[in-house]
Chain A
């Protein structure tokens, strides 16, 4: 199998060799355990490997950042997680982190400093954009030609951290037609899973938020709904299934689209 050729060192392994990674890839719980999002993790690793960046992962040493606990109100649990993670990260003298999860990104970047964890944290959309700008990532022509793609802004990337352009810049190199939903960028509509909603049933209402959002995405006529967040991925995929459109419309992460365009998948 052609897949069997990528080195994925753990930080522990590198340290044992007396080395340090240039960038730590924070995989996140969804990226580690969710069958769908594991594909995103693999796609991103293939890109990292191809561009030859010296990266590493924490492997079994990584644990939940505590984001859902803090947002559900359990500050104790959040801080226990955060401090344990900070001890590991500081122990390895990590300086730069990249992650494909906006929730991990937000927590590591904005909330860990108050507890003694200061790192340069980059979301994979920004990281991919930088690789594109440097000419290290290109897309083979034709794969996406004439296809309509719509990008679903995730709240923790967009409103929470003002990242709106990077994911769109990444999609631009695909030679596809980028179409916007009625509510996008600062006005984007949540997928319904943030604030620990991923881990409980929604409150009673007229409809579920992910259905509302999926309807907006389908209204654009796009064949591909691009996302940059594991929660959004799940919610939008469920929405597409609910609308019985899984034959026509796919939900894909930015990293998957780039890996596909690079013939890495």
Chain B
């Protein structure tokens, strides 16, 4: 029996690892559809940013209540994995509570600690469900959240709840089995929270309890594998990508818009300054599709958990314009997924007649941005929707020449009068007349 279950466990583990691994490689490929960008300078500062922002949750605390609840789930996620390690090893070796004899009297302390975390996770998931479905907090009910995004969020919370309840049921049944001195269930001592199941389980027969314990055990671990696979299709991928995403984040001042070196080259040639020879292939100016963005933009998109803090703080969005920084990230990911899936199936990929700009994100959204950096500031994992917006504006201005008439007028003023307003450049110093010392006075 044990050998059979060990074999079954091994198959389950192998199949899960295969599917999850395949999906991870696919996401990696999708992200690498983006252009190169060097984000490897200042490794120490990058590591520090990652430790503070992702590991330390620093930016979450701008909203203390959400941050506290999130912290409970986060710490639970990090630490309960130790118990999952024991479960995996038990599954492989056909043992039960492998760590119990190794850890001795510390074992029940540890399990009790995990149970506290489990209850913390359950509490947070319930409050999060209430916030989304009863209180209907505005950033969770905006237009871009209709349908799948809300379903995704709900599923995640419900699955987490089920997984946590399975741990408690497993431990509860285990405790009763211990008192009944059933073989294979070594005495570990009492567990604090799962003991609430004891009155419920006590009257049941040993066989029934073993079934309950095994169902909960298999349910928990199979659920974790399934969830891990599901996550790769979900906004919940942030639990992994938050770490590299903060590591590779922009370390420069937020106000700096990245220079376009290919333009520099052309401008230098126009001004008769020494410049590199022009490239054989004319580069695209700005971004029309995901391959014009950098890999970091695409990683941002996959790391986004759709919390909506960006959109909530966006001045354009809060005053009713169609721009939503969260939508920019969601659409970018949708497009990367679409293109990646098409390539995987041997389809048209990027040449499918669609593009990120136009089919997913429209001009009106892009034009509404004030480049104020509120979205960048708000993001708990340093996602930068603004630089995607700027790249698409560049496409609009330099490839399509479709900027609004009033901007074209501004461009023309800058070109001919050297100011965005149409004033004669010779009047630029007139302001000084009122305050300037008269030459004759000297």
Listed in ascending order, the chain A residues whose CB lies under 8 Å from chain B are 3-8, 10, 27, 29, 31-34, 38, 41-42, 45-46, 57, 59-60, 62-64, 66, 68-77, 79-81, 83, 106, 109-111, 114-115, 155-156, 159-162, 186-190, 192-209, 211-213
Contact = CB atoms under 8 A, between A and B. Distances in A.
Given A75-B285, A80-B267, A201-B406, A60 B260 contact: no
B271 interface: yes
23 contacts: A6-B437, A8-B435, A10-B429, A29-B419, A34-B421, A42-B431, A46-B435, A69-B410, A69-B411, A72-B407, A72-B411, A73-B403, A75-B260, A76-B398, A79-B260, A80-B271, A109-B253, A110-B256, A111-B259, A159-B377, A198-B420, A200-B367, A203-B368
Given A29-B421, A41-B431, A73-B395, 15 more contacts: A7-B436, A7-B437, A64-B419, A68-B414, A71-B371, A71-B393, A74-B407, A81-B418, A155-B371, A155-B374, A161-B253, A194-B371, A202-B368, A203-B364, A203-B367
B393 A63 contact: no
Interface stretch (B9-17, B79-87, B300-308, B317-325): B317-325
B267 A204 contact: no
Chain B interface: which size bin?
35 or more
A212 B318 contact: yes
Interface string B382-414: 000000001001111110000110110111001
Contact of A63 (B253, B410, B419, B437): B419
A207 B317 CA distance: 10
Contact of A190 (B374, B397, B406, B437): B374
A190 to B, nearest CB: 4
Interface centre among B268, B286, B315, B418 (most CB of A within 10 A): B315
B252 interface: yes
Interface of B: 62, 252-257, 259-260, 263-264, 266-268, 270-271, 273, 285-286, 313, 315-316, 318-323, 364, 367-374, 376-377, 390, 393-398, 403-404, 406-407, 409-411, 414-415, 418-421, 423, 425-432, 434-438, 441
Contacts of B270: 80
Nearest to A205: B320
B177 to A, nearest CB: 54
Given A193-B370, A202-B321, A212-B319, A70 B257 contact: yes
B420 A68 contact: yes
Given A69-B414, A190-B315, A200-B406, A42 B434 contact: yes
A50 B125 CA distance: 63
Given A68-B410, A111-B256, A195-B372, A205 B319 contact: yes
B398 A74 contact: yes
A75 B284 CA distance: 13
